[in-house]
Amino acid sequence: MVQAVKNRRSLKTAAVVLAVFCAVSAAVFPVRAQEPQEDIFTEEERAYIEKGETLKVGYVNDRRPISFQGKDGELAGISRYLFDRIAEISGLKFDYVELPGGDITYDYLMEEKFDLVTGVEYNQENHAARGILLSNPYLSSRKVIVAKEGLVFDPDADFTVAISTGSQTIRKVINRHYPNFKLVDYPSMEACLDAVRSGEADLLIQNQYVVEYWLYKPIYNKLMAFPVLEMNDQLCFSAVVPLQETEDEDYRERELQISIIDKAIDHMSDREVAGYVVTATLENMYEYTIFDFMYQYRYTLILLGLAVILICVLLYVALHARIRSINARADAKAKGDFLSAMSHEIRTPLNGLISLNYLMSQNVDDRERISDYLKQSSAMAQYLLSLMNNILDMSKLQEGELVLERDPFDLSLLLETVDSAEKRSMEELGIGLRTDVELTEPRLLGDAVRIQQVLLNLLDNACKYTDRGGCVLIRARQTKTSEGKILTEIQVADNGRGMSEEFQKKIFAPFTQERETVSQGNQGTGLGLSICALLAERMGGDLRVESRLEQGSRFTFTFLADRAEPDAFEDGTKRQRAADASPTGQRILIAEDNELNGQILAELLEGEGFEVLHVENGKKALEVFQNSEIGEFGVILMDLLMPEMNGFEATQAIRALDRPDACTVKIFASTANTFQEDRDRAFQSGMDDFIAKPINIRELLKKLRF
């Protein structure tokens, strides 16, 4: 077996080796004369040439560099160089047509009227075949075997051989020389090589020039090629002739064509043909692509990629650790600032309450002073309640736990209510209030309570920083978005003291007030504007501020809402009016484990004309309701956290009783636990409503009328 030549060389080296090999091949296999003749064509051949007929030539594609279709769609490669030279020598004209894949039959060639076929192997079988005439060989080369590295070639083995579909000559040669080989057809040369590379086939036998092109592709760098001494290739042209000979005029024309081509081939020297081989080979070297580069250096690229990923991971970990460190310090500082602010905000009113309580104990007989102290105590308590509510709202908004309602409401009525509620208190301060409202869609779906909360906060803020004689303006406008929603813009503007540009940058931060203190006696938690900004964001809008010192401020509040359908709006209004207008005459059962809270609540309700019974836990509430007359109790105010049986368990037990009023009695949760999970659990246990402590008596009385 011949020493295997591995395909691992650069393109430049390969080109030099190929050129030398072609020159040696020309020397080893001389097939034509070296000296041209002066008058090489007979009169009959000249007469045929002068007819000027164009000969239809068939060629097989996918046989680089021998024959293939070039970028212009025409025949290219060694065959094209030879045809162009033959045309130059003889004057013949050619038209090149690609032959279809698969076996090319004589009937097909005759039917399609082909005159010549290029790239035909010159051998005894083809020479003796009827229907074709062969020219002299124009190119000599060897057949080579292509196999994976490590293959031990054995002529008597049962190898599987990949061959291109339609390669009948190779099929016959292999069957003659290696009868044990199993032949498998593949649609192209590349498919044959892929079969050998994957192990689907053991080897491939093909012309050395054709194989050389593909072995430059890096994906085939594990394949090796070595020549087969007993299988030489000599390529020629063949003419397609009628089966009847000598007497047929077409047959004679084909003989003249072959004779002219033979003389033209003989007119060319072996060196000239070798030059065409080298030129065609160099011009059609395999084009190295980015994918070939990636395949050839795949392990290096993988390692490089892993290195880059590792570096990125390390950088990410380091950066993340750095960010966590920074955030931890920032969180610690924020928590410290928050606790400091909370301590200040809570201690101030507590100090007032403790002091007022002491003063009341010292002046218990002075009704006038006691009345004044009680008013101040109530104001302090309301401030503390406002502070706690704001802190809870802030926490829920920041954690995304605050659920906004989506009920129908009339924005015009809401603005009128706000105007009416604020105008009187502002007039007492000597501040005017004007409204400029133009609404195209006043009936909306949304959370009216939260919208009112924002407006009241903005108006309260305007009052604090507007001196007597000043004025506050409420301006409202609406537009429709491309998505069909209503964008409402409400401005609250004043001509008060205004604020600095520096303060405007941090005005929506928690516990922020101008000059870091209560401004000229104006008390506030410093959370209101932060909550308003977060509420506006949750409603799909925003809260902005424009201000100048001593010229006033303008806050712009925007929110998105859907238009409320008239029917839904009217039904909700009717239900609300009916609920507000229908008081109850039934008894109220209070389940409250804190005796003082229960006693105070009972006295407040009895003062409003209700008949009340107080029990200390859920178990007693269940027993009392179970032993009561049907319909005796209309409402149960149920604390949630009680000994023996909590409010959730008691409610579930009452709802499970086999009596008609067990499902109709109103059960209201009355608790200091105001988180969303508490509300959800209360409703899931069967409660009808939720009342947060400390209880707003006016709101409670409103709910008790159903």
List 235's β-bridge partners, or say none.
121, 139
CB count in 10 Å sphere of residue 389: 17
CB count in 10 Å sphere of residue 158: 10
Q: Tell me the C-alpha distance between 700 and 290, whole Å.
A: 77
Nearest in space to 141 (alpha carbons), one of 63, 59, 58, 61: 63
Q: Tell me the C-alpha distance between 405 and 391, whole Å.
A: 20
- CA angle at 563 for the pair 560 and 564, rounded to the nearest 5°: 130
Which CATH code fits 5-296?
A: 3.40.190.290
| Contact in structure between 488 and 556 (CB atoms under 8 Å) | no
Q: Tell me the C-alpha distance between 480 and 489, whole Å.
A: 11
Q: What pLDDT digit, counting tens, does each position of 135-192 carry? A: 988 887 777 889 988 888 888 889 999 988 666 667 877 888 888 999 998 888 888 9
Q: What pLDDT digit, counting tens, does each position of 166-179 carry? A: 666 678 778 888 88
Nearest in space to 90 (alpha carbons), one of 256, 275, 274: 256
What mean pLDDT is predicted for residues 90-109? Answer: 85
Domain 321-396, what architecture? Orthogonal Bundle (1.10)
What mean pLDDT is predicted for residues 11-16? Answer: 43
In CATH terms, the fold of domain 582-703 is Rossmann fold (3.40.50)
Nearest in space to 270 (alpha carbons), one of 138, 441, 384: 138
Nearest in space to 389 (alpha carbons), one of 13, 706, 55, 695: 695
CATH superfamily of 403-568: Histidine kinase-like ATPase, C-terminal domain (3.30.565.10)
What pLDDT score does 367 carry?
Answer: 81
Instruction: Tell me the C-alpha to C-alpha distance, in Å, between residue 190 and each of 147, 219, 294, 311.
Output: 14, 11, 19, 40
Token digits of residue 218: 């890096």
CATH 3.40.190.290 location in the chain: 5-296
User: Which H helix or E strand runs over 598?
Assistant: helix 595-607
Q: Tell me the C-alpha distance between 86 and 570, whole Å.
A: 99
Peptide bond into 694 cis (omega under 30): yes
CATH 1.10.287 location in the chain: 321-396
**What DSSP character marks residue 200?**
S
Confidence tier at 673 by pLDDT (50, 70, 90): confident
Q: What is the DSSP string of 289-321?
A: -HHHHHHHTHHHHHHHHHHHHHHHHHHHHHHHH
CB count in 10 Å sphere of residue 134: 20
Q: What pLDDT digit, counting tens, does each position of 460-504 carry? A: 888 888 988 999 999 999 999 988 899 999 999 999 988 888 888
Nearest in space to 121 (alpha carbons), one of 167, 84, 75, 174: 167
